[in-house]
Structure 1
Amino acid sequence: MKPLLFSAALLTLALPAPANNWPQTRGPNRDSVSTDAAVPTHWSEKENLKWQLDLPGAGASSPIVWENKVFVTCFSGQKENGDVSGLVRHILCVDKATGKKLWQRDYPTTQKDDDWSGMIREHGYTSNTPVTDGAHVYVHWGKGGVVALDMDGKEVWKATTGSESGRQRWGSSGSPVLWKNLLIVNAADEAQSVIAFDKATGKQAWKQTAGLLEGAFSSPQVLKRADGREDLIFAAPSELWGMNPETGKLRWYAPTGIEGNVAPDPVIQGEDIYVFGGFPSTMRVALKAGDKGEVSSSAMLWQDSQSTYVPTPVYHDGKLYVVSDQGFAWCADAKTGAMIYRERLGGAAAQSGGGGGRRGGGKPFYASPVLIGDKIYAVSRKQGVFILAAKPQFQVLATNFLAGDGTDFNATPAVSDGCLFLRSNKALYCIGK
């Protein structure tokens, strides 16, 4: 089969960031892993809540942290009749210690966004998590384009990415990533393309376009091979691709059998790659990275039909852990794929509000779990944060609620300096001792 040419979300690479920074989606290495043992395991409005900041709108993007600053995006201006002519996207910079808003920049829509109806209500118009290198913050707004700001909120450059819509009209979700001097953006929804910009100037460095990229919602990873070569890894419907991040050219591809939507990010350990997703049926597969051309079937390590639709699993000590969108906590052997346990979390029934007000979405989890030390923190949309033991025996250690917030928590949290940063459709929270 002739492969499609990439577009999903964006590449990922370990940034040269101090240990207390969380500069992009799912952390410094894009693996949802933190060694910060000081993060609390119990909290409420009266215990270990350092601060709360109400936000001007909803959003599914994760907060990111650089030194003493926290950045978060959100959106407002949508109407219940579907009208988005007044849509505004916002980025806020917040003092990490106090929760004081340092600055806010607002970006009114400049072209027709998808109506506020259907599945876009599940996550909204700011699902792309920003990325920072400590000098600039880069934000992808989907049809709103890309903007680069300095750390004080001054706009450095702005670029367009496209104005189209996928047939499903589910909107943009993949998060941008920095690789060397490039900012790589998943513009699948608005342009059926992946686009790389010079991070200093905003000048387009390369663009790869393919006609059939719908359903590729995951954010890619970077695999660093033993010989030093780096491959841009991303999952699309039916295939896994390895690309040259410098040029966007396809190096290799492997059939996966995962049909329909692919939302979870690929998980990488060495040169083993784990891929998840699918719609209406889910699947998970493991395979060896290729070198060039089509990868042979012998590269497939295992496959199984029990998977996750939105959240990305986390790897720990030879196991894969996740709480699926349907509320099942599961642990699988990464070498064989064998399911070790699969248990529904108590209270995690199929009840969700969606991105900014819709109820009945049916998926109690959207966020990816984060491994902090020997514990897994899994954020549900409405039933609190479940803390599980990161071991092959199912054990719920704690469940924590912020009872005063009845909106959805759609975002994977950030971790920095003993604090857990949660965001809902209402507020940004700092949990810490």
Structure 2
Amino acid sequence: MHSVTSRLSVVCLLTLVTAAPLSAENWPSWRGPHSNGISDEKNLPAAFGPDKNVAWKVRLPGPAGSTPVIWGDRIFLTTVNDNGDLLLLAMDTTGKSLWERQISGGNKNVRGDEGNSASNSPLTDGKLVWSMMADGKLACFDFAGQEIWKVDLQERYGKFSIQFGMTSTPVLDEGILYLQLIHGEGDAKTREACVVALEAGSGKQIWRVDRPSDAYAENEHSYASPVIYQDDRQKYLLTHGADFIVAHRLSDGSEIWRCGELNRKGNYDPTLRFVASPVSIPGLIVVPTAKKGPVLALKPDGAGDITRKPEFHLWTWERTPDVPSPLIADGLVYLCMQDGNLNVLDAASGQEIYFERTHRQRHRASPVLADGKLYLVARDGKVNVIKAGPKFEVLAENDLGEDISSSPAISNGTIYLRTYQHLWAIRQK
């Protein structure tokens, strides 16, 4: 276990004795620069609100649950408007609007106030920006707003049969977009569940593979996003849904290993599809499941079906977050539950460090950690800031007074919070 523990440590950067961060850091995808919810920025405020540490806020055309992405002085985010159009917005880091582009139309709200068709987060590499909507429209633009390409994934890969829309966000790696399209029904020949790789600059397909499973009913679907696992020996794609987590080769999508029983067959609930996404560090993959299911910690070196192979399982924890994705830092796993409870586990052993209550409300945003602070965003606009580490300590309880389901984004000393009404820029004054 000592070798695993050493891999779990996160190197702390030195802090400059100024109000500026050590280095300006981009936030290119919904889980940040390292795809794990962790920022290296420093000197971030714990306390903020409508009258405190707000650099600016701008009114948005409508609500969305997606996370903004930031590169340099550009911010990109998705939204809907009063006509139900699904839009990609571009603004600068002063809040000035630069352009907006319609990706699709016909927005569909989810359970009244839970979300809509603009729930997928955009992503950028500093030159181009990509935006996918829940109806499968996927488009690429340059930073000036010029459309580079656009594709209808339902026309290309089959009609989506998924109750709340295809809200999975693609992952970008070395010029390739990877998408998991796990959307349910079909016979042996037409079953609509696949994983695809596209040339990011053109939208052309590089490969497509089927993703079989024995899930049924709503469990054939997935709202989770794919992630890349990487260590000093290997790198592969992880897709998450339909009762399995599956590792795929980046070269052709072929399957390396899979782990099932994530929705246990002995107590199967056909309504429990996956929403939270996995997270990894070298030597460890933490796998959330569906509401009432377990959290698994897997070793990355599997082959074939590892479901019942204990040599590839580090530990299992019985309580999983429903929507917020896990976070791993400094040898700890943070699990923000849907009701605001915070469960912290030892990453090497799975032993519980603490289980404490924060704000008792729905939590849909994934936690973000920066500057020794864990930011937990509740649906009613309250943001609890918890001291990172093995001892529970509430640093601040903040109230924006607006609905929010988006995860925070952090760049260049600023915390960006996208509520249903505004984009807020929070900065230490």
TM-score computed with the length of structure 1 as normaliser: 0.83
Shift of 1:103: 0.9
Q: Which moved more, 1:136-145 or 1:218-227?
A: 218-227
For 2:88, the equivalent position in structure 1 comes to 91
- Aligned partner (choices 291, 295, 308) of residue 284 of structure 1: 295
1:138-196 CA-partner distances (Å, limit 9, x unpaired)? 111132421000001110100110163335x1212211111223112233338533222
Name the CA distance, whole Å, in 2 between partners of 1:20 and 1:423: 19
Aligned partner of 2:80: which letter?
F
Q: What residue number does 2:398 align with?
A: 400
2:255 & 2:300 partners in 1: Cα distance? 13
Q: Which residue of 2 aligns with 1:155?
A: 147
C-alpha contact 2:103 2:133 (8 A) present in aligned 1:
no
Cα distance in 2, alignment partners of residues 94 and 236 from structure 1: 34
Distance in 2 (CA, whole Å) between partners of 1:197 and 1:367 is: 28
Is residue 208 of structure 1 aligned with residue 209 of structure 2? yes
- Out of 395, 403, 418, the residue aligned to residue 423 of structure 1 is 418
Query: Post-superposition shift, 1:19?
Result: 4.9
Q: Which residue of 2 aligns with 1:195?
A: 196
Partner of 1:6 in structure 2?
none
Q: Aligned with 2:183: secondary structure?
A: helix
- Name stretches of at least 5 consecutive residues in structure 1 with no aligned partner: 1-17, 78-85, 350-363
Rounded to whole Å, the distance in 2 between the matches of 1:393 and 1:173 is 35
Q: Which residue does 1:170 correspond to in 2?
A: 164
Which 4+ residue blocks in structure 1 deviate beyond 6 angstroms? none
Q: Does 1:30 align with 2:42?
A: no
| Contact kept in structure 1, 2:179 and 2:226, CA below 8 Å | no
Contact 1:254–1:290 at 8 Å: present in 2 too? Answer: no
Q: Which whole-Å CA distance do the structure 2 matches of 1:342 and 1:394 have between them?
A: 9
1:62 to 42, 45, 67: 67
Verify the 8 A CA contact 1:375 1:390 in the aligned structure 2: yes
State the partner residue of 1:131. Answer: 123
Partner residue, 1:80: none
Aligned amino acid, residue 119 of structure 2: S
Distance change >3 Å, CA 210–CA 322, structure 1 → 2: closer
Do structure 1's residue 380 and structure 2's residue 378 form an aligned pair?
A: yes
Paired residue secondary structure (1:142): coil
- Aligned AA (1:293): G
Provide the residue aligned with 1:316 in structure 2. 329
- Residues 209 and 123 of structure 1: is their aligned pair in 2 closer, same or farther, counting only changes over 3 Å? farther
What per-residue deviation string (whole Å, max 9, x for no partner) do you get for residues 397-423 of structure 1? 1011123x3xx2111111011100000
The CA deviation at 1:427 is 1.0
- Aligned-partner residue type, residue 389 of structure 1: K
CA distance in structure 2 between the partners assigned to 1:72 and 1:308 by the alignment: 25
Q: In structure 2, how many angstroms separate the alpha carbons of the residues matched to 1:377 and 1:194? A: 32
TM-score, normalized by length of structure 2?
0.84
2:3 aligns with none
Alignment partners' CA distance in 1, 2:36 and 2:104? 33
Matched, 1:333 2:327: no
Residue matched to 1:146: 138
Q: Distance in 2 between matches of 1:179 and 1:34?
A: 19
State the match for 1:73 in structure 2.
78
Q: Which of 278, 282, 290 does residue 270 from structure 1 map onto?
A: 282
CA distance in 2: counterparts of 1:144 and 1:252, whole angstroms: 27
Q: Tell me the residue number matched to 1:366.
A: 364
**Contact 1:194–1:209 (Cα < 8 Å) also in 2:** yes
* Kept in 1: contact 2:166–2:223 (CA 8 A): yes
Of 288-297 and 308-317, the range deviating more from structure 2: 288-297
Structure 2 contact 381–404 (Cα < 8 Å) conserved: no
Structure 1 residues 432, 343: CA separation in 2 closer, same or farther (over 3 Å shift)?
A: same
Residue in 2 that maps onto 1:15: none
* Contact 1:240–1:254, Cα closer than 8 Å, also in 2: yes
Rounded Cα–Cα distance in structure 2 between residues aligned with 1:225 and 1:278: 27
**Conserved? CA contact 2:44–2:371, under 8 Å:** no
2:24/2:413 contact within 8 Å kept: no
Paired residue type of 1:240: I
Deviates more, 1:287-296 or 1:238-247: 287-296
User: 2: CA distance between counterparts of 1:106 and 1:235?
Assistant: 29
Q: Which amino acid aligns with 2:174?
A: K
**One-letter code of the match for 1:87?**
G
Partner of 2:220, secondary structure, is: coil
3-state SS in 2 of match to 1:277: coil
Q: Are 1:142 and 1:187, in contact at CA under 8 Å, matched by a contact in 2?
A: no
Q: Which residue of 2 aligns with 1:301?
A: 314
Residue 291 of structure 1 deviates from its aligned partner by 4.1
SS at match of 1:298: helix
Deviations 1:242-263 (A, max 9, x none): 1012322111112343353222
Judged with a 3 Å threshold, the aligned counterparts in structure 2 of structure 1 residues 301 and 144 are, in CA distance, closer, same or farther, namely closer
User: Is residue 180 of structure 2 the alignment partner of residue 186 of structure 1?
Assistant: yes
Alignment-derived partner of residue 3 in structure 1: none
Please show how residues 41-56 of structure 1 align to structure 2 within 5 Å. Answer: 41-56=46-61
Residue 383 of structure 1 and its aligned partner are, at CA, apart by 4.5
SS in 1 for 2:335: strand
Which one-letter code corresponds to 2:393 in the other structure? Q
The Cα of 1:217 is off from its aligned counterpart by 2.1
